[in-house]
Structure 1
C-alpha cells in the first residue's frame, strides 16, 4: 500500500511540474513606426539708449518658429512630413514695426522601396507666407509686393527618393506640376510672379523638381541642416532654373537655450532677375522634441537633433 501511495505522489509531482512549464512568449517588437523630431523656438532681442553719444534707436524684436519632421517607416513604406513655420517682427523707435521673418513651408512625401535605400515616391509641397510684404524694408507705407498666397507655390509630383540614412534625403521628380498662386488682387498684374495677363490668379508649370536635405553634426550641440532644390519648367524656358538653398546652424547652449543662424538664397526669374538673400541671427528659448527610435540598422535616428 505504501508503495502504491509513493508512486501516486511521484506521478502527481511530475504532472504539477509539467503544468508549470510554459512556452516562451514570442518577442514583442517595440520599435515605433512613427518618429517625431521637432524644435520650437522663441528668439528675443532688445536695445536701449539714453544720452548715448554714439547714437542709436531703441528697439525690440522677436522671432518665433517651429520645425517638425514626422516620419513613418515600416517595412518597405516610407512617409515623411515636414512642417516649417516662422514669423518675426522688430519695432524701432522712429521707424515703427517691420517684419523680419515670414515663412510657411509644408511638405509630404510617400515612398515604396524597390531597391536598397531607393523608393518610388510621390508627394506635394506648399510654400507661402503669413502677412503682406512691402518695398523699402517692409515699410507699410511703401508699395506692397507680396502677401499670403501671393505668391503661393504648390508642387505635386512623382519620381524616386534616395534615403540611405536619416541625415540624407534626395528626391528626384521628372514629372512635377507647379502652380504659382497670386490671390491678392492688388498684385494680379501681367509679369508679376510670371502671370500672363492682368487679373490672372495662378500660373501653371510642368517640369523637373529635385530636392535634397542633408543634416550634419559639426560637433557636440552644433548642427547644420542644409536644404536645396532646383526646378526646370519643360513648357517655357527650361533653362531658367528656379534655385533655392536654406541653411540652419543650430548651436545648443542647454536644454532650453540655443542660438540659430539662418541663411536663405533664392533665384527665380519670375520673381526678380537677381539672387535673393536673407540671413537671421537669434538667441533665445528652444525646446526640442525627439521621440524617435532606431527602426533599422542603417538608420541614424535623426542624430542631428540630439
Structure 2
C-alpha cells in the first residue's frame, strides 16, 4: 500500500502547489511567470446504411480528450506540468460497444538552470488507462489483458533538461526508478508485464530514461507535436529498451472545429515482444486555451495551439 500511496501523494502535492502558486500569481505577480496552453477536444463519427448493396454496419463513435501544458518560469527556475487524458468508444451494429482510445499520462518536471538552456532537474510521470482492455478488439467476452493501473507506470528520477525554446524539450535521467503496477488481481501472474511471481502487484526497475518533445508548425493552422522516450533497465537486460513515439497532427478548421490525427508506436519486451501501433483520426469540436504569458525568452513559433 505504501508503494501505491507514494506516487499518488507526490502528484497530489504537485497539483496543490501548482494551484496555490497560480492563485498568488493572479493576485500579486505582475511578471506573468505562469503559462497555460491547452486543447480540449470532442470528436464524433457516424455511419448508417439502408439497403446498401456494398454492405456495411451502422455505427457511431466518440472520442474526448484534454492536453494541458502548464509552465512556471522565473529566473533560473523552470517547472513544467503536462496532463494528457483521452477516452473514446465506438458502437457498431451487431458487434456492440468497443473502446477506441484510453490514455492517462501525467508528468511534472522541475529544474534550475546551471548553463544557458540546461537545467538540473527532477521529475515524475504516471501512465495508465481508465477502463479494462480485452483481446479480440476489446471484446468484453474475450480475455482481459489490461485495466486501470494494470499496468500503471510511475517514473521518478533525477537528471538534466535541455530547453532552448518553447518548441523543444529534452530530459535525460541517468538515475530513474520505474515502477510497473498491476493492481488487477486477475492479471497478477508471473510474466504479465514483467511480474516475477504470481500475486505480485509491482515490478521495480532502475535505469536510464530519456524523453523529448518537439513541436512543429507546418503551416498556418496545421501543427505537429512529436514525443519520444527510451528506457533502459540497469538491473536486468539493459539491452531490452522500452521505446515509444507519439505524433499528434492538429488541423484547425476554425475557432471551434478541428481535425486530429494521432499515431503511437511502442515496444516493451515486458508487455509483448512485438511492435505496437495505434492510429486515430477524428473531426470535431476543439476549445483551445492560451493565456499568452511569457514562457521563455525566445518567442518563435509559440502559436502551435492557436
Corresponding residue number in structure 1 for 2:203: 203
Q: Does 1:34 align with 2:29?
A: no
Q: How does 1:1-306 map to 2 (within 5 A)?
A: 30-300=30-300, 302-306=302-306
* Residue 119 to residue 132, structure 1, CA distance change in 2 (3 Å): same
Structure 1 residue 31, shift from structure 2 partner:
3.4
Segments of structure 2 that go 5 or more residues without pairing to the other structure are: 1-27
178-187 vs 288-297, greater mean Cα deviation = 288-297
Runs of 4+ in 1 over 4 A off after TM superposition: none
Compute the displacement of 1:304 (Å): 1.1
Alpha-carbon separation, structure 2, partners of 1:154 and 1:294: 30
Q: Is the 8 A contact 1:34 1:292 kept in 2?
A: no
Q: Which has the larger radius of gyration?
A: 1
Contact 1:76–1:112, Cα closer than 8 Å, also in 2:
yes
Count of residues in Structure 1 that have an aligned counterpart in Structure 2 = 279
Q: Is the 8 A contact 2:223 2:305 kept in 1?
A: yes
Instruction: Mark the CA change 1:29 to 1:296 in structure 2 (over 3 Å): closer, same or farther.
Output: farther
Q: Aligned-residue CA RMSD in angstroms?
A: 1.2
CA distance in 1 between counterparts of 2:120 and 2:296 reads 19
Deviations 1:35-90 (A, max 9, x none): 00000000000001011111000000000000000000000010000000000000
Deviation at 1:299, TM superposition (A): 3.9
Are the counterparts in 1 of residues 73 and 296 from structure 2 also a CA contact under 8 Å?
Answer: no
Range 295-304 or range 215-224, more displaced: 295-304
Q: TM-score, normalised by structure 2?
A: 0.89
| Distance in 1, Cα, partners of 2:201 & 2:295 | 44
Query: Helix, strand or coil for the counterpart of 2:53?
Result: coil
Give the alignment's TM-score, normalised by structure 1. Answer: 0.89
